Chains A and B, each alone.
Chain A
Amino acid sequence: MTDRTGGAATAVAPSPGDGGDGGRTARGPRRGSGRGRGTGRGPSFGARLRRDWQLLLMALPALVLLAVFHYAPTLGNVIAFQNYNPWDGVAGSPWVGFAQFERLFSDPRFWSAAGNTLTIAAVQLVFFFPIPIALAILLDSVLSPRLRLLLQSVVYMPHFFSWVLVVTLFQQILGGAGLFSQMLRQNGYAPLEIMSDPDAFLFVVTSQMIWKDAGWGTIIFLAALAAINPNLYESAAVDGAGRWRRMWHITLPGLRPVIILLLILKLGDILNVGFEQFFLQRDAFGSGVSEVLDTYIYHQTLVTGNFSAGAVAGLVKGVVGLVLILVANKMAHRMGENGIYRRA
């Protein structure tokens, strides 16, 4: 669920000038060479099957997993149109048309969860999104390669910690029984309460996101920075442009395509703010602020046992999310970029 966000964001990286890309051009002649793959009217189907059966067999395990754990459950969304009952199964449960949708749309908690999701996404966009850009520029300005590598290692690391771990660390440091509260209490002050104060919720979750993923987010911008032609900086400097002017007129325009693309893709992904971070802190902050669509679906179903209610919410979220992605890609194409898929 959360994987997709990170994946899509990284998948659009521009090729940096360094490493890996050299072989790309060498692939051209290969089409005509070897076994004559891809040359016009290739060999017959039988001949291709005889030639490629090993390759197909290799793809099979992953394909079976994909069919069973992605496409089969996608079809399972039909229970959104039923009053699904686990004992009767899909075949035996009564069909109720759009009744589940009506129930969903009249549930104030659904709208509250949708509102919270959009709020969190908007706050992320304003307060999280610029930070990896700034951090990348800062890291890139460190001249010593060793120091830079060390700093990169440090800031990438929290990306690999689980949300349980990140939330736990925040509680231990900033929570009501945490380190700062303990110091405040020992000096006669009231302990911190931000880890359970609904008004501080957006601040806390955004800080957690920044702590965990801002460093990792720099990778794509560092690659884009490395792709900027150094001669531009030199000529600008010779023409008398200072440090800040060079950043404004060369660095930022150089990053612009990546920034625009990531922004657009982020728009296509606003309903996926993640599950675990909010699930874990729902009790501390209350569901009023922390319930997002995914946690709503979870609590609708696995707590109350109403599978169709959860499925219908998931289906609505999925369909709206799909539309958003398609629109976002359309926008990316308009601006001359490849989205998560290319122009046909």
Chain B
Amino acid sequence: MSTDIEAGLLQPEALAEAVKDAAAIIAAASNLEALAAAKSATLGDKAPVSLARRAIGSIPGKERGEAGRNVNAARTEITGLFEAREEILKAAEAARILREETVDVTARTARRREGARHPINVQMDRIADLFVAMGYEIGEGPEVELEWFNFDALNIHPDHPARTMMDTFHIADGKGEYGSNMVLRTHTSTVQIHTMLTQEPPIYTVAPGRVYRTDEVDATHSPVFHQTEGLVVDKGITMADLKGTLDHFAKSVFGAEAITRLRPSYFPFTEPSAEVDVWFAAHKDGPRWIEWGGCGMVNPRVLRACGIDPEVYSGFAFGMGVERALMLRHGITDLRDIIDGDVRFPAGLKVEE
């Protein structure tokens, strides 16, 4: 290539032409690969602006300054065009990849089994939480009990009519006969006795747990079911305290509108005794009073059997069925759904709202 020709490249017209050509080449690049070729053609060693830069040495010294500025300006312009095009093509490329990676997000199958807790246990945990928030502790006791804990200490002596009212599972003695003096507990009230024997008042305890009666399974009965026992023993405890505590409890289980009603009743271990009814506005057959459980002031005889002086302390106790509340709240009509072990019940009933 002659020096003249190279010098010709330094002419402003030629540089303008080079920029114009470069713009066309760069614009024509439709992807990043083509753009790399375009870069080589417009800014590479053999590109006009590169050749022009090299030609600067061949021209007179006083002209070099201006020529250099012209070449640089042209090169800068082409670089700008390239970078702008590169940005556009990179964005297009990224968009294309994302587009190609698109999946049908509904074409998915679960990768793990779905587990669930049993609603009865969840319900008991929630009851425990409510009372823990009021300062109570959670009491426990065995399910096979000495008769003394299940009956005698609760003022149900061997000939008491209430002892026959309760349909009790008796434990066979060593010879398979009556007389082991042990039963499957018929109520969680046994925990009252354990608690009072091992703790000094003030006592604030609830005991959710499993109990047993000889009822055949049907839509509303089960030989194995759950209760929540409550026991408070302190100075100056009144039946009004019991009523207030039950009101609070009822609102948590049945909703803010729930109110309670005490009806005179009889339990050997409480005196006075009452049945608790709850006004359940959301009942599926319309608002109504429903039976919820039993309660009363701890019978002084029970306090004495546990070594607590009834002249100093008084207390209240209550016992509520867990299944019944769950059935009412969720409109369950058949208890067997809860107890028969079908996994679809826990999996389908979400109670942890």
> Do they bind each other?
no
Listed in ascending order, the chain B residues whose CB lies under 8 Å from chain A are none
Listed in ascending order, the chain A residues whose CB lies under 8 Å from chain B are none
